[in-house]
Amino acid sequence: MPHISIISSSVRNGRNSHRVALYFRNYLNDNKLATSEILDLFDYNFPLFEERLQYQVSPSDGAKDFADRINASDGVIIVTPEYNGGYPASIKNVIDLLYKEWHLKPVAISTVSEGSFGGNQALIAIQFVLWKMKAWTVPALFPVPEVAKTFDENGNPADKKKTDKKASDFVKALLWCVEAKSRME
């Protein structure tokens, strides 16, 4: 069974996009599609980026742990909020931290907003950065508009049937890339 890490990017007190990370973990587990874990940037509490992990003289345990977990993942789901038409610094902080860990890593991106556009501007911005890092950005969408109305605090969607259908397409695209990559290795 593939192993998928879900990066929960918001480090804001009272954050709502974490609900979507919880949803994906539940969805993958309940449907036995993958083993999964949430890499919660709020919990990691990383300092502002100073240098790439590979060049750090004494990297923190947290940085090493994060890199190891990305390395050990067959695929990654990034759940990121949209802030002011972009993505938050917290996720750029950890994208820049790593290098070879991103190479050809299948990464599916879910953008989350309070407004009605589902973070589509953040999607374009983060997609380019990941492409530049040579990650394999999965051609699938999971935008979440009006997150506080569409998911509860435990990650339960208001409309489970519709949300699961949307997740099915998104996760299938990610797992297709994971399998294709494994066949090439």
Ligand X SMILES: Cc1cc2nc3c(=O)[nH]c(=O)nc-3n(C[C@H](O)[C@H](O)[C@H](O)COP(=O)(O)O)c2cc1C
Q: Where are the alpha helices (DSSP H) in the chain?
A: 18-30, 41-44, 61-71, 89-97, 120-132, 147-150, 160-184
What are the CA-CA distances from residue 68 to residues 118, 143, 162 (Å)?
31, 28, 35
User: Given the complex with ligand X, which of 62 and 85 has the nearer CB atom?
Assistant: 85
DSSP 8-state code for residue 101:
G
Residues lying near ligand X in the complex (CB under 6 A):
10, 12, 15-17, 81-85, 112-115, 147
Closest approach of ligand X to the CB of residue 185, in Å = 35
CA distance 50 to 92: 12
Closest approach of ligand X to the CB of residue 45, in Å = 15
Closest approach of ligand X to the CB of residue 22, in Å = 12
User: Given the complex with ligand X, which of 62 and 115 has the nearer CB atom?
Assistant: 115
